[in-house]
Amino acid sequence: MSLKTAGTCSANTPAKPTAGHSNEVLKIPSIIEEFKPEIGIVLGSGLGSFADAGALDVNTVIPYSQIDDLPLSTVPGHKGRFLLGKFAGKRFIVAQGRVHLYEGWSAQEVTSGIRLMATSGIRTLILTNAAGVLNTDMRPGEWMALKDHLNLTGTSPLLGGAQFVDMSVVYDSELRHQFLAAAASCDTIMFEGVYAGVRGPQYETPAEIRMLGILGADAVGMSTVIEAIQARALGLRVTGFSCLTNWAAGLSQEPLSHQEVLVRGAAAAGRFVNVLKTALRNGLD
Ligand code: HPA
């Protein structure tokens, strides 16, 4: 994978969703390679402000459109760029915006950014997402650290080979506890729970939400599980956080809307930035 040259025709032609499979580890732009990021972060819907909030000392911005073969998101609230920056003595690569299965991309395409970050040398990956909450002990506007997930997307980035990756511990418990301690010291509520990853793009029906509750889910969203599978297959330490943006379908009188997800995500992002900064200052890694 290399940086595109501006001004050529192909530079502005985004890759199109395909059903094909291409999970090779691509060549990464030299600017990322030379930066040698240690920690990767993926920001979900409405959480992009983390990168604008001055938390990171941003060195470089690389729009996804400048990287050959990297899929581009069509979803409002997803910017589509990598940031290279430093905080608390660590080098970060931040994926501001992701692509989703529901846009028509394959699981391999959805995870091409994860493979790029892994190849660039990160050892730790922090995944964030927006999710509907179905556990009534939790509530919208708060955060949930992922203890485990249910992959209900019907697909995997590892399709096409016999990679029998152990998924007994996807979300690193030590990392999670460092974040929980940081959240407590910032007076930020951080629940722990199980995230159900669905394909979307439609939100769930109340009956589906009741089913997910019976299956053990605390929150539901349309991302993260595929990325976490890919990251574990590449040996990364993974931690994940859901910004609980709305009550899941049937739990409130309000119809679900992407606008609500973006507004709640933006409002809660600042608190997560504080937790992240505190965890990093305490020596996360
Ligand atoms: N369902 C699925 N995905 C979501 C939701 C939801 O309620 N909220 C934010 N992403």
What is the three-state SS of the chain?
CCECCCCCCHHHCCCCCCCCCCCCCCCCCHHHHHHCCCEEEEECCCCCHHHHCCCCEEEEEEEHHHECCCCCCCCCCCCCEEEEEEECCEEEEEEECCCCHHHCCCHHHHCHHHHHHHHCCCCEEEEEEEEEECCCCCCCCCEEEEEEEEECCCCCCCCCCCCCCCCCCCECHHHHHHHHHHHHHCCCCEEEEEEEECCCCCCCCHHHHHHHHHHCCCEEECCCHHHHHHHHHCCCEEEEEEEEEEECCCCCCCCCCHHHHHHHHHHHHHHHHHHHHHHHHCCCC
Here the CATH number for the domain that contains residue 137 is 3.40.50.1580
Ligand 1 binding pocket (C-beta < 6 A) is 130-132, 203-204, 220-222, 245-246, 248, 256, 261
- Residue 49's pLDDT is what? 64
Residue 65 is a catalytic residue: no
- pLDDT at residue 6, rounded to an integer: 36
- Residue 261: the pLDDT is 77
Answer yes or no: is 222 within a domain.
yes
Active site residue 130: yes
Which one is catalytic: 1, 222, 231, 269?
222
CA 55 from centre of chain? 18
Whether 121 is in a domain gets the answer yes
223 assigned to some structural domain:
yes
For the question of residue 78 being annotated catalytic, the response is yes
Ligand 1 centroid to residue 129 C-alpha, Å: 9
Q: What is the pLDDT along the chain (285 residues), one digit of tens a residue?
A: 544 433 333 334 444 444 334 455 556 788 888 899 999 999 876 666 666 656 677 778 888 888 887 888 776 656 788 999 988 888 999 998 889 999 999 999 999 999 999 999 999 999 999 999 999 999 999 999 999 999 999 999 999 988 899 999 999 999 999 999 999 999 999 999 999 999 999 999 999 999 999 999 999 999 999 999 999 999 999 999 999 999 999 999 888 888 887 888 777 888 888 898 899 888 875
Cα(112)–Cα(105) distance, rounded to whole angstroms? 11
Site of tokens 């529901």:
102
Task: Give the whole-angstrom CA distance, residue 167 versus residue 238.
Answer: 12
Query: What backbone torsions phi and psi does residue 145 show, to the nearest 5 degrees?
Result: -85, 135
In a domain, 13, yes or no: yes
1 within some domain: no
Q: Which domain holds residue 249?
A: 6-281
User: Domain tally for the chain?
Assistant: 1
Q: Say if 122 falls within a structural domain.
A: yes
Q: What is the pLDDT of residue 12?
A: 40
For residue 28, is it within any domain? yes
Q: Which of 220, 225, 251 to mutate to test the pocket of ligand 1 (most atoms within 8 A of CB)?
A: 220
Tell me the two tokens of residue 113: 């950014």
Q: Does residue 137 lie in a domain region?
A: yes
Strand 237-247 vs strand 124-133: parallel, antiparallel, or unpaired? parallel
